[in-house]
């Protein structure tokens, strides 16, 4: 299990990578039962965006949400 600090560092690194895209809106660390995950919000969710954002980074799950 990852700590909040580790998940937050992964979120910051992911944010730096994705902030150059117009469809990126934001991200946050969230908790689900006993583990943390990163929720990424995008303007329009499609297959090309799903290819850019990995589903898991260093054991941390990445969940996508559309506005």
CA distance 62 to 37: 6
How many C-beta atoms lie closer than 10 Å to residue 14's C-beta? 19
User: What pLDDT is stored for residue 55 in this prediction?
Assistant: 95
- For 2-61, write each residue's pLDDT tens digit: 899 999 999 999 999 999 999 999 999 999 888 999 999 999 999 999 999 999 999 999
Cα gap 13→7, rounded to integer Å: 10
Write down the pLDDT at residue 2.
Answer: 86
User: Can you give the residue ranges of every domain in the chain?
Assistant: 4-66
φ and ψ at residue 49, rounded to 5 degrees: -70, -40
Query: Does the 4-66 domain belong in CATH 3.50.50?
Result: no
Q: Can you give the pTM of this predicted structure?
A: 0.91
Specify the DSSP element, H or E, that contains 56: strand 56-57
């Amino acid at each position: 299990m990852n700590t909040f600090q580790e998940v937050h560092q992964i979120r910051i690194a992911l944010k730096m990578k994705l902030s150059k895209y117009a469809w990126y809106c934001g991200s946050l660390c969230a908790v689900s039962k006993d583990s943390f995950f990163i929720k990424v919000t995008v303007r329009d969710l499609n297959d090309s965006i799903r290819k850019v954002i990995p589903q898991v980074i260093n054991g941390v799950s990445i969940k996508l949400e559309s506005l």
